Structure formats: structure tokens, C-alpha cells
Amino acid sequence: MLATELAQLIYIKKIEGNLSGVTIDFLAQDSRKVRPNTLFFCIDGVTVDGHRFAAAAKEKGAVAFVASKSIEDQVGDTPVIYVKDVTRVMALLANHFYGYPTQSLQMIGVTGTNGKTTVTHMIDALLEKPNKPTALIGTIYRKIGPKIIQTHNTTPEILTLHETFQELKEIGGETCMMEVSSHALQLGRIWGLDYDCVVFTNLTHEHLDLHKTMEQYAHAKSLLFSQLGNYVGENSKPKVAILNADDEQFQMFEYSTPVQVISYGIIANADFKAENIRTENGHTIFELVIQQEERYLVDMPILGTFNVYNILSAIAVAYVYGVSIEEILEKVKAFKGVAGRMQAVDKGQDFQVIVDFAHTPDGLENVLDSLSQIPHGKIITVVGHSGGNRDSSMRPELGRIALTKSDHVVFTADNPRTEPLVNIYEGLLSGVDKESVSYECIDKREDAIEKALQLASTGDIVLLAGKGVEPYQIIGEVEYPYNEIEIVESLLGNR
């Protein structure tokens, strides 16, 4: 594609150098990914300024640049398009360069504090068709058909997203499920994507390091619904918002979008409602009531009221896409859960070990409440909290929930970054009377897990909270490989 074709899309710009005849074959914002004939976007990010890497990008083959401040000293007479907002322009040009791929895909976005990973996997399972690969983008990985790619951000940057969509279309796929984080919405990572169906799970305390207040956090989440658009034309895709009717933000999200709204819940009179919920032999059984009339018995082989909410939203999505109720119920019964979400680790020990990603107060409370419904002795919880630039205001509540809903807590490292662990421990303990609870602090996470396993007796439950299958641990400024499941299996095998 000619660089001039891309430049014509930008209304306000200043071009230095000659774009005539320049061919663009690739787009990049990371200088390590530059190849010959690349258009390089200099993003001034939170921690890294891409303008500093313009010379490196040119050396690797960048033939044109988009920047917001001068890089002439680095790129010489190589053409530069200067704009006010490089991120916004990158979204615009990427969409055009890749041929507006989301217009011809079934795009499903899921946002909310908790449940995004489980809901996207549930939707993927319910919409699965023979010989029709799907894409799933989220916290654990990006999946494109059978291909798995590890990822660090819940929602990757826009160029990675477009590469994913392009690869999905090349292998004959039609549907993409995406976790959409508040960071992505606030920072413009999904600008220009054409969603058909968006799901809201819940809104609880998290990410106030970025959003400052719960009101601003809610507003960031609502952007996904307002960005569904207002236009409905003969050739436009049908749009729908699927909202948790029991969440106190339901009405605000309903007002934020002009498209059809489908509700789900347990308490409110929702379009998809669960009644008479009970647990039997590790399964959750409930009655699904659709539009207050049709009733169906649902058998789900995973535990937790929070997972009832999750599956209700997924069922609503499948219903919208025309999957029969009979097929939905069969697939729900076959759904075995998601790695690192209420995942049991069994090496023949006489107590239960559960690994879960729960890292917010609401998420941890949901997991502990669900575990309390299982016959057990003691509940021993291993938990920490991320340090550095993360939201520390949730620590008192996170610690209080762990301590009041467990028999013993081992506080340890999650991703402490450069923050002293003693500061994190103090925050986690600040919401309780220390003399009235049972806890200890062990800095090294592997040692903390080993201690919890040593404390466990027949019939006990050991909950390892916060990491799930996150493949790294950040200590200081170093990202170390980490695998909680492998660590637990090794420790159990050595008992």
C-alpha cells in the first residue's frame, strides 16, 4: 500500500520529507518488530517513549514514520507524518491497512472487573462449530484456531489485534471473543473495531491507580457500549448489549448504548434468569428462566454463584447467535472450566488444592464463598497483592476478606515490583485486628505455598489466589518465568 494513501486519511497533519512512491508493507510500534518497508508509529507511552527508538526503526527498514514530536535528528530525510495523537492515527491507519477486518467478523467483547476470561471461554465453547476456527483474546493468551500465543496485556495494542483478525480470516474463521479491559478502553487500544455483541459482567474495586474513582472506572467500561455506535443501516450488522441486571451499574450501562439490551441475573427480573440454584457433587444445578416463561434445567460441572452469572451471560450470547437451547445445555454440561480459574490440582493428596486468579476483593470473596459450600476442614489461603504502580487502596478489603473467610492466611509476593513486601503486608493487614486472626507472612511465593501445603490436613482446602496461570512474576524490575500449577504439582509430588 502506498504511504500517500494512508496519509490522505489524516485530516490534520504535517508531512516532512517526500512520501511519493513510498510503499508500506508492514506497520509497527515496537522497533524490534520492524522489517523493510515498515511504517513506524512513535507512541509516547506510560513508561516508554517510542520517539526514542526512531533511529533503531530506520536502521531495521522503516521507510516512513508517524510522530508527535521531532525525530529529524534520528531519521534525517526519511518522511515523517506529524500528528497530534499518534495512538488515534495508528488505529485509523491500521484499520484501513488491514481492510477493516472486524466489519466481516462476528466480534464479541466482554468487559467487567471479574469473569472476563471465564465468560469468553464459555462463549467460545457454546459457539464452537466443526471446521470453523475461532479467535479468543484475553488475559491468559491469544488463541487463533489451534494456535496459542502468550500475552501480557488482557487487551493487546491495536496492531496486534489487527494481525490476529487477519490470521483468523486467513484460516477461515468468522468469530472472535475478546476480553476488553478498562485500560484498553481508556488508552484507545480498541478504537475502530466493529463489535456486534458486548457483555458486561460486573464492576467492583480495581484499577483505581489509573481511573482514580469508581465513577471514572465505570465510565471507562461504559465506553465499550457507547462505541457500538448509533447508526443502523440496511447493510450494518445487528448490535446487542448483554448486561448484568443485578449490578448497580446496570442502568448506567443501559443508558450508555443505543442498541438492543438483553439482561441476565439471579435477583432482578432479567431476560435470562437463574432460579433454585444448588450444588451437587461438584456441579451447580439451576433453573434457567428465559423471558419469565420458558424454563430449562442447567447442569454445570463447575462451582460458584459467580459462575452462574458467567454462564448466564454466555448463554445469552449463544441465544443471540441462534444456538438452540438444547445444544446450549449440552455444551454447558460439558464445559470443564478454564485453566487457573477454580482449578483443582490433584496428586493423590487427602486435601484439596485450588488455584485461582482471584486478585480483587470481590473475586476473592466469590471464590472463598464457593469453597465454603464444599464439605471441608480448614481453609488455608495463600494470597498477596501487586506492588509498584498498582491500586493499593483495595488491600485492606482484600486482606480482610482473606482473613475472615479463611482459617489461616499465608501472605506472600504476587508481583511486588519495586515496592517492599512489608508495605504490601501492612496494607493487607490494615483492615483487621491482627490479634484476632491467624496469619503469617512468607516473602518467597514458592515457600509460602510449601508452608500452606504442610499445614493442610485431611479434608482441608488450600486456596492459592492471585496468580492463576499467569506465566511470570515481577520482582524488582525483572520479570521471572513462573508457573503456579507446576510448582504445586512438584511440591505435592515431593510430599
Residue 402 backbone dihedrals phi, psi, to 5 degrees: -60, -45
The pLDDT score that the predictor gives to residue 231 is 66
User: Within this chain, do residues 133 and 164 fall inside the same structural domain, yes or no?
Assistant: yes
Are 322 and 403 found together in one domain?
no
Question: What cell numbers appear for 207 in the block?
Answer: 484499577
Domains contained in the chain, number? 3
Instruction: Tell whether 457 and 358 lie within a shared domain.
Output: yes
Q: How high is the pLDDT of residue 212?
A: 60
DSSP annotation string for 198-245: EEE----S--HHHHSSHHHHHHHHHHHHHTT-S---TTSPP-EEEEET
CA distance linking residue 144 with residue 134, whole number of Å: 6
Are residue 296 and residue 389 in the same domain, yes or no? no
Last residue of a domain, one of 48, 73, 98: 98
* CATH for 360: 3.90.190.20
Distance in angstroms (rounded) separating the CA atoms of residues 217 and 133: 34
Whether 453 and 347 have beta carbons less than 8 Å apart is answered as: no
Residue partners of 432: CB distance under 8 A and separation at least 6: 399, 400, 403, 404
Q: Which of 75, 98, 121 is the last residue of a domain?
A: 98
Q: For residue 100, what are the contacts with CB-CB under 8 A and spacing of at least 6?
A: 194
Domain co-membership, 29 together with 122? no
Do 294 and 383 belong together in one domain? no
The reported pLDDT for the residue numbered 441 is: 97
Got the DSSP string for 5-31?
HHHTT-SS-EEES--TT-B--EEESSG
CATH number at residue 251: 3.40.1190.10
Return d(Cα 254, Cα 221) in angstroms, integer: 12
Cα dihedral 69/32/415/427 (nearest 10): 0
**C-alpha of 136 from chain center:** 11
- Asked whether 356 and 468 are in contact (CB, 8 A), the reply is yes
* CB within 8 Å of 148: residues ≥ 6 apart: 141, 142
Cα 493 to Cα 64, 442, 464, 467, 469, distances in angstroms = 56, 22, 17, 21, 19
CA distances from 32 to 47, 50, 61, 164, 295 (A): 17, 11, 11, 18, 55
**286 and 186 share one domain:** yes
pLDDT on residue 327: 97
Q: Are residues 183 and 299 in the same domain?
A: yes
In sequence order, which residues have a C-beta less than 8 Å from that of residue 96 and are 6 or more positions away?
Answer: 5, 6, 9
**110: β partners:** 179, 199
Alpha-carbon gap, residue 368 to 351, rounded angstroms: 16
Q: Could you write out the DSSP letters of every residue in 37-85?
A: TEEEE--B-SS-BGGGGHHHHHHHTEEEEEESS--HHHHTTS-EEE-S-
Q: How far is CA 437 from CA 73, 246, 380, 431, 433, in A?
A: 61, 32, 12, 11, 7
Residue 41, domain CATH: 3.40.1390.10
In sequence order, which residues have a C-beta less than 8 Å from that of residue 381 and are 6 or more positions away?
368, 402, 405, 406, 408, 409, 410, 452, 462, 463, 465
What are the residues whose beta carbons fall under 8 Å from the beta carbon of 112, sequence distance 6 or more?
Answer: 199, 200, 201, 202, 203, 221, 244
Written as tens digits, the pLDDT of the chain (495 aa) is 999 999 999 999 999 999 999 999 999 999 999 999 999 999 998 778 999 999 999 999 999 999 999 999 999 999 999 999 999 999 999 999 999 999 999 999 999 888 899 999 999 999 999 889 999 998 888 999 999 998 777 778 899 999 999 999 999 999 999 999 877 777 878 889 999 999 999 887 555 555 467 677 777 778 888 888 766 666 667 899 999 999 999 999 999 999 999 999 999 999 999 999 998 877 899 999 999 889 999 999 988 898 999 999 999 999 999 999 999 999 999 998 888 888 989 899 999 999 999 988 988 998 999 899 888 999 999 999 987 767 788 899 999 999 999 999 999 999 999 999 999 999 999 999 999 999 999 999 999 999 999 999 999 999 999 999 899 999 998 999 999 999 999 999 877
* Residue where the block lists cell 472463598: 368
Amino acid 51: pLDDT: 97
Residue 411 sits in which domain range? Answer: 343-494
Q: Are residues 51 and 136 in the same domain?
A: no
pTM higher than the cut 0.75 = yes
Instruction: Could you list the beta-strand ranges (E) of 59-210.
Output: 62-67, 80-82, 106-111, 134-137, 141-144, 147-150, 175-179, 197-200
Q: Is 253 in a helix, a strand, or coil? A: helix
Query: What pLDDT score was predicted for residue 480?
Result: 95
Number of H helices, E strands in the chain: 17, 24
Last residue of a domain, one of 293, 309, 334: 334
Same-domain status, 278 and 318: yes
Q: Which three cell numbers stand for residue 226?
A: 457507547
* 167 shares a domain with 47: no
Give pLDDT, residue 226: 83
SS3 track for 389-440: CCCHHHHHHHHHHHHHCCCEEEECCCCCECCCHHHHHHHHHCCCCHHHCCEE
40 and 74 in a common domain: yes
